[in-house]
């Protein structure tokens, strides 16, 4: 066997062993699944969305969008720096690592591209029901005769369907990293109020528990 052929065979052998030697290809680093929500079961997602809904809509009787928040709904993307600043202001960065925040936020933002249906089982006793997400978005945009008229027009559409409701809620997909999860909630009220909140959760012995919540906008 010639020397050049031996070199080629040795190189191929070492390449095949590279994973066990701790080598990582560039493509593996780019496609790392560490910040994906693929490991969550449907039961996990229902539990997490239910916790966020109870906490985020406390004191309200909202209509809930029947699908998770679409990317096109709002120009507000969750910005890692804003979330870190809000957590720091609460003194919560002692409990939640900055690196983990970045991975969870990136995951949630990415999953907004593929909305998913929200099961009715997520609803508790404090919600009015589920409403088509496109109808909610249309209602929130309302009419075109100025902000006040637009708001009134939009809420008339919702009140006709759900007269007992006082608000609407939209939920994001659930992002996860290991035993940690993040979900984003937006609530819009009849009297021109609204808020956007993030809920950090952790799986503790098989049960999802809220670790921290933080507001990233309010009006």
Residue 133, domain member (yes or no) = yes
User: What percent of the chain is predicted at pLDDT more than 90?
Assistant: 45
The number of domains in the chain is: 1
Q: Tokens 């503790």 label which residue?
A: 204
Spell out, as residue ranges, where the chain has pLDDT lower than 70. Answer: 1-38, 73-76, 142-153, 190-192
**Owning domain of residue 123:** 32-218
Q: Which pTM does this prediction carry?
A: 0.77
pLDDT for res 93: 86
Give the separation between CA 65 and CA 57, rounded to whole angstroms. Answer: 13
How confident is the model over 76-91, as pLDDT tens digits? 678 999 999 999 999 8
pLDDT for res 13: 33
pLDDT for res 152: 63
Residue 57, domain member (yes or no) = yes
pLDDT for res 28: 26
DSSP state of 144: S
Give the separation between CA 86 and CA 82, rounded to whole angstroms. Answer: 6
DSSP H helices in the chain? 3-17, 26-30, 42-56, 80-89, 98-111, 133-141, 147-161
Residue 12, domain member (yes or no) = no
Residue 203, domain member (yes or no) = yes
Residue 11, domain member (yes or no) = no
Residue 16, domain member (yes or no) = no
pLDDT for res 1: 52
Residue 6, domain member (yes or no) = no
**Partners of 208 in beta bridges:** 203
Interior angle at CA 80, CA 181 and CA 105, nearest 5: 25
φ and ψ of 182, to 5 deg:
-140, 135
pLDDT for res 42: 92
Distance set, CA 197 to CA 57, 95, 217 (Å): 10, 18, 7
Bridge-based pairing of strands 129-131 and 62-65 is parallel
Residue 157, domain member (yes or no) = yes
């Amino acid at each position: 066997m010639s020397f050049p052929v031996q070199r080629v065979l040795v190189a191929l052998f070492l390449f095949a062993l590279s994973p066990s030697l701790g080598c990582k290809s560039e493509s593996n680093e780019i496609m790392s699944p560490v910040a994906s929500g693929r490991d969550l079961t449907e039961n996990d997602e229902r539990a997490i969305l239910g916790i966020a809904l109870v906490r985020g809509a406390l004191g309200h009787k909202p209509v809930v969008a029947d699908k998770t928040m679409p990317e096109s709904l709002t120009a507000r993307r969750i910005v890692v720096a804003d979330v870190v600043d809000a957590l720091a202001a609460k003194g919560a960065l002692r409990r939640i690592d900055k690196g983990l925040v970045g991975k969870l936020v990136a995951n949630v933002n990415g999953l907004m591209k593929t909305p998913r249906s929200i099961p009715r089982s997520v609803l508790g006793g404090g919600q009015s029901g589920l409403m088509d997400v496109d109808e909610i978005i249309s209602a929130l945009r309302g009419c075109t005769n100025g902000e006040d008229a637009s708001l009134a027009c939009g809420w008339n559409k919702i009140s006709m369907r759900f007269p007992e409701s006082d608000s609407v809620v939209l939920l994001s997909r659930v992002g996860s990293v290991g035993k940690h999860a993040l979900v984003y909630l937006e609530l819009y009220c009849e009297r021109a109020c609204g808020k956007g909140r993030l809920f950090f959760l952790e799986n503790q012995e098989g049960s999802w528990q809220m670790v921290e919540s933080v507001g990233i906008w309010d009006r």
